[in-house]
Each structure stands twice: as structure tokens, then as C-alpha cells.
Amino acid sequence: MNKILILAEAKENTFKSNAFEAVTAGKHIAEALGTGFDVIAITDASDEQLKSLGKYGAAKVYHLNLSELNSKGPAGIKYSHSAIASAAANFANTKGYDIIIISGTSFGKEIAPMISVKTDSAIITDCTGYNAADGKISLKRPSFAGKCNTKVNYLSGKAVITLRPNVFKAEAAEAACEVEEITPDSVNISASDFKTCVTDVVVSSGKLDVAEADIIVSGGRGLRNPESFKLVEDLAEVLGAATGASRAVVDAGWRPHGEQVGQTGKTVSPSLYVACGISGAIQHLAGMSSSKFIVAINKDKDAPIFQVADYGIVGDVFEILPAMTEEIKKLKV
């Protein structure tokens, strides 16, 4: 019982940290339950890429070629969430997995509910922790925009679990990794599984997205005008960070919506979040309070952002940002 399957997501045929995090989390959960785990990857990634999952302890990777899968659907598509969900769910049903672990990226969030229905499993999303006892796990997940934590149990024997990205650490654990190829036919895929088809992926800019960044420098209304976001961008550049924004400046049209962090924007958990001229409204905190370290720069010592900050300077962003950029540049030479 308690057989675990991890769905490793590859982006443009390359596994990113979220896939390694899922493998590590799955490995720990398997150990805690005294069971094993397998990985499924639906991608055109190279054999070498697939084997890289072994560096995090994956001993067995089932691989379904994405282009082979796509050949069962309409011509000219990039991928189909519904077909990928069908393939993963049919595979899990045939092999009898009880727990399916998926990273809660935009891709993972889209397919997880479909997989849970197809495998007749409970679903618990956005998990930040787990607890194993008596051969069962319960999951910890934030709710009410991070204002409280909830422990959720699943009642049926089976569960689909999505993990909040950037929360579980990927840990090196060398395993001899065996890759076994599977075919679309072996998982019963037909044209009717292609209910939705992604025909194009448009990258909004070449820039790093807040949802994927390890460091984020965000600016708010304290920057006063769109031009002074240059100061935020300069600091982000020396840190190799993504730039984020509060809703106030997104609504004002100073920054694109893709940069918005918070309840109606993106939820992020980077290692370092630098909030510049952001007051720290509850809806903003909802999107970033699970960051590992938070730095606040605000001229108002009573701004709520200081209550969640690990470090902060009460002062003027127009002085502090350039000084930080210079100071960090010194480290890099």
C-alpha cells in the first residue's frame, strides 16, 4: 500500500528546481511511510535529463515522450493538459499508486484536479508540509491567504497532492536511475483525450518571472513614479532577481500585471524578498509572507511590512536602493 508516484514537470525539456523538490519531498514521504516511489515524466527531455532525477534519489523514472503523446491528437499543438492528465491518471490506475505528488506550478495546478477525479482520489493542494503517522500522512497547507495553517487529512485511501513551489528543499541523494519508456497506447490515449490543446506559449518578456525566482525585489507606491522603478530593476539585476510589484502600482499602470505579488497576483516563496516602498497590506502579505527572508525598506517605521520583515531599514528608498546596489556590486568583484 501507499505506493507513491511523483509527476516530474519539465519545462522546455529541462527539469527545473520544482521537479527536484517534488522528488525529494516524495522520497521523504515514502521513507516516512515505509514505502517506495516512482517518477513519471511526460516530456521530450533527453535521457541525460531524465537521469538527472536520480541525483535526487529517483531510482525509477517512467518516461512518455511528449511528441509521441501529441501524435495522438490534432496536428500542430504544443501540448494538451487534458491528454497529459489522462496519461498520468491511466498510468497511476494501472499500476495502482495511492499517492500522486505534483508540483503546484501553473501546469500542476491545472492537471491535478483532473487527475484526482480520474483516479478517484482526494486532492490536497498548495501543501507546505506533511506529517506521517500510522501509515498515513496529513498535509499542512496555508489558507485564508496565509493567515492560518490547516492540517488536512484524506479519508479515502488515495490522494493527489500538490506542493507549493520553493518550499520543499531539493536534496542531493544519488540513486542508480533506471528509465523505462512507456507509450501512449500503453496508457490508453486516444484523440478524445485532447479536450484542450495549447497551440502557443507567449513569453511576456525575456525576464525572470516572480513565481520562479529565488530572489525578488518588489516596488510599491513609495517609488512615486514609473521611472524610478529603474532603482528596483538595478538592484534586481545585481542580485540576479526578478522584479515584483504591489497592486497599487500595477493598477496605476506603472508595472505589468505579471509582476503583481499578492492575493490577486502571484503567490511567491523566494529565499529573499525585498519590499521597497510597499506598506505591507494584508493582500500583499498574502502573496509573499512564506518567503524565507523578507527585507523591508520603508520610510514609515510603523508600516505593517516591518512586522513580517526579518531585516529592514527605516528610510528613503531613493537613497537606500542605490546604496544597496553599490554595496552588493562590491561583493561581486
Partner 1 sequence: MKIEVCVSLVPDSTTKVKVGASGKSIDEAGVTYIINPYDEFAVEEAVQLKEKNGGEVTAISVGTDRSKEAIKKAYQMGADKGILVKSDSADIDSFTVAKNLAAVIKEINPDIIFFGKQSIDYDGSIVTGMTAEILGLPYVNVVTKLELNGNEATAEREIEGGKEVVKTSLPAVFGAQKGLNNPRYPNLKSIMASKSKPIEEKPFANERKTEVAEMSLPESKGQGKIFTDGVSNVPELVRLLREEAKVI
Ligand X SMILES: Cc1cc2nc3c(=O)[nH]c(=O)nc-3n(C[C@H](O)[C@H](O)[C@H](O)COP(=O)(O)OP(=O)(O)OC[C@H]3O[C@@H](n4cnc5c(N)ncnc54)[C@H](O)[C@@H]3O)c2cc1C
Q: Name every residue whose Cβ is closer than 8 Å to that of residue 128 and which is 6 or more positions away in sequence.
A: 140, 141, 142, 149, 163, 164, 167, 290
Judge contact between 131 and 137, C-beta under 8 A.
yes
The site partner of 257 among partner 1, ligand X, none (C-beta below 5 to 8 Å per kind) is partner 1
The gap between the terminal CA atoms of the chain, to the nearest Å, is 55
Q: Determine the Cα–Cα distance for residues 274 and 270; give it in Å rounded to an integer.
A: 10
Judge contact between 58 and 84, C-beta under 8 A.
no
Tell me the angle at which helices 81-95 and 106-118 cross, rounded to the nearest 10 degrees.
50
Least CB distance to partner 1 at residue 29 (A): 17
The site partner of 284 among ligand X, partner 1, none (C-beta below 5 to 8 Å per kind) is ligand X
Which one among 44, 68, 212, 237 touches partner 1, defined by CB under 8 A? 212
Which among 84-92, 170-178, 181-189, 243-251 is the span making contact with ligand X, rule CB under 6 A?
243-251
Least CB distance to partner 1 at residue 170 (A): 16
- Judged by CB under 8 A, the chain residues 288 through 327 that form the site for partner 1 are 289, 292-296, 301, 306, 308-316, 319-320, 323-324, 327
Is 158 one of the binding residues for ligand X (CB under 6 A)?
no
C-alpha 246: how far from its chain's center? Answer: 20
Which one among 49, 138, 171, 234 touches partner 1, defined by CB under 8 A? 138
Which among 26-34, 37-45, 109-117, 183-191 is the span making contact with partner 1, rule CB under 8 A?
109-117
Number of chain residues interacting with partner 1 (CB under 8 A): 86
- Judged by CB under 6 A, the chain residues 102 through 141 that form the site for ligand X are 123-125, 141
Is 281 one of the binding residues for ligand X (CB under 6 A)?
yes
The site partner of 71 among partner 1, ligand X, none (C-beta below 5 to 8 Å per kind) is none
The site partner of 198 among ligand X, partner 1, none (C-beta below 5 to 8 Å per kind) is partner 1
Judge contact between 328 and 236, C-beta under 8 A.
no
Is 203 one of the binding residues for partner 1 (CB under 8 A)?
yes
Q: What nine digits make up the cell of 211?
A: 513565481
Which one among 45, 123, 127, 217 touches partner 1, defined by CB under 8 A? 123
Of the candidates 162, 166, 53, 164, the one whose C-alpha atom is nearest the C-alpha of residue 111 is 162
Is 230 one of the binding residues for partner 1 (CB under 8 A)?
no
Is 221 one of the binding residues for ligand X (CB under 6 A)?
yes
Q: Report the residue number, 133 or 172, with the smaller CB distance to partner 1.
A: 133
Of the candidates 43, 147, 165, the one whose C-alpha atom is nearest the C-alpha of residue 106 is 165
The site partner of 116 among partner 1, ligand X, none (C-beta below 5 to 8 Å per kind) is partner 1
- Judged by CB under 8 A, the chain residues 17 through 76 that form the site for partner 1 are none
Judge contact between 286 and 264, C-beta under 8 A.
no
Phi, psi for residue 197 in degrees, rounded to 5: -130, 125
DSSP 3-state of 62:
strand
Which among 1-9, 38-46, 52-60, 108-116 is the span making contact with partner 1, rule CB under 8 A?
108-116
Which helix (H) or strand (E) element contains residue 191?
none
Q: Name every residue whose Cβ is closer than 8 Å to that of residue 270 and which is 6 or more positions away in sequence.
A: 166, 210, 213, 214, 215, 216, 291, 292
- The contact set with ligand X (CB under 6 A) reads 123-125, 141, 143, 150, 152, 220-222, 246-249, 260-265, 277-279, 281, 283-284, 287, 297-300, 303, 316-318
